[in-house]
Structure 1
Amino acid sequence: MLCFTACGSAQKDDETEYNESAIEQTTEFMIQYCTNADEAMRKEFRNMKELKLDFQLMQSGIPITAESFLGALNAWEAAEEECGEYKSHGDFTSEITNEGYKLSANAKFADREATISFIFDDKSYMESMTVDAKYSMGEILAKAGMNTVLGMGTVFVVLIFISFLISQFKVIPALFGSKKKEEPASAPVVSGPSSVLETVETQETDDTELIAVIAAAIAAAREEAGMDEACAGGFFVRSIRRRPANKWKA
C-alpha cells in the first residue's frame, strides 16, 4: 500500500500544471524588488499588518502571500550581509520536487557567488526564496577548523574551571565567614576529696608535736582510770582530724 501511495503522489506531481510564465514573472519581480528596496521600505512592510500586505500583493497580481514575501526579504537581506551587493544572475533551471516546483539560478554578488532558489506550490504561489552562498574548499576547511578549535577550547576551559572549583572546596567555607575554632578553655580546678586528703595529710605531718602532747595526755588519763600497762601500751595516736563545728543550738 505504501508503494501504491508513493506512486500515486508522484503521478499527481507529474500531472500538476504550473503556470511557468507567472512563475518567471514572480521570480523576476522578487529579485528586482529586493535589490531596489531600501531599509525604510523593508521596515514599512515589516510593520504592516498581514491582512493589509496580502491585499496589496493581491492587487499587484503577484501570486505570493505576505508571510512568503517577508521571508524572501529577510533571506535577501541576510544574503547581502554575507555575499555583498547583488550584481546579476544566470538562467533559471526548473525541476519538480517533493516540495513543489523549484527554480534555481547562479547569482553573482560583490564578495562571492551564490545560488538563488524559489519554491512554488501547485497553485503557482511562491512559498519560499533562499540564497545559498558558495564557499571554496579552503574557506570550508577554515570554518570547520575554527569551529573545532572553539568547541574544544570551550570544553577545556569549562573543565579547567570545574577543576579549580573542586580544588577550592577547602577555602570556600572560609570565604563565607565560617566561625573560627575557639581554643578549648582550661578546665577549672575542682577541689575534690583527693585535695582535701592531701591538705589533711599535710596538716598531720606539720602537727607532730601536737600529736605527742595529745597522746601523752590520753595515756595519763588512762593510768588514772586504773587501766593496766598492757592496755596503755597498746594505744597509739596515728592521726588527728578537726571535728566539724556543731550545728546544734542550745
Structure 2
Amino acid sequence: MKKRLVTLFCVIACVLSLTACGSEKTYTELEQGRLEDCEALAVQIYDEVSNMEDSTVQHLTKELKKHETEAVFKSVMGYDAKFGALEGMITTYRQMESDMGGIVETGDVTSAIEGKEIVVTMPVKGNECDGQIEFTFTNDIFTKFMEGNATAFTTFSQKMEQAGSHMGDAGLNTLLGMGSVFIVLILISLIIASFGLFKKKPAVKKEEVKQVAPVAPTVEEDLTDDTELVAVIMAAIRAYEGSGAGSADGFVVRSIKKANRRI
C-alpha cells in the first residue's frame, strides 16, 4: 500500500513539473531584444508621465492637436506613440495615483509577446493599495506605443478579506438553501404520512357499525307431541264429570290441533 502511494505521488510530481516546464515560453534572440527595448521604453514613459505637471498635460491633451502631440513625443522623447495611448496613459495614471493615495515605488517590469503585440507590465505600490500599469507596443521594428492603462487594485490581504466575506456570504446562502430544502422535504413527508390516516378512518367507522348491530339469535320451535296434551285434558275433564260438578250433555270433546307459527 505504501509503495503504491509513493508511486502515485511521484507520478503527480512528474506531471506538475512537466506542466510547469510547458508553461514557460522561449523566445528567439530577436524577440528577446524587442522585449528588452519595450521594457526600457515603458520605464521611460512612466518617468515622463509621473513627473508631468498639470500645465504640460493641459497643453499636450487639450491645446495641441493629436498629430502635434504625437510629433512632440517623437521628437522630444524619441519614440513613436499614438495620441490615444498617451492620453489614456496620462488619464489612467492620475486616477490610479489618486485611488492608491500616492505611489511609493515601482517594481521590476515583465514583458511577453502576445501575437502582434508586446505587453509590458509594471507593478506599482501605493500608500493604500497596490496597482499595475500595462504598456502595449507593436511587435515589429517600429516598436510603436499603442496603448497604456494604469489600474489600482487591492493588496493581497485586502483580497483575502474580500474573498473571506464572499465565502461567508456564499456559505450563508448555501445554509439557507439547504435549510429551505429540508423544510420542504419534511412538509412533504408529513403530508404523505397523513394520507394513511385519512384512509383508515372509514374502516374504523364500518367496524363500529358492525358492532352496534348484533345478529339476532334464531328461535327454535318447541315440537312437543300433541297426544300428551290431549291425554292430560281428557283426564281433567273425566275427573270433573265424576265429581258431578259439570254436565256431560253440555260438553263436546273436540280435537285440538296446534298451529305452527313461524316467528
Which of the five TM-score ranges fits, normalised by the shorter chain? Answer: 0.3 to 0.5
TM-score by length of structure 1 reads: 0.46
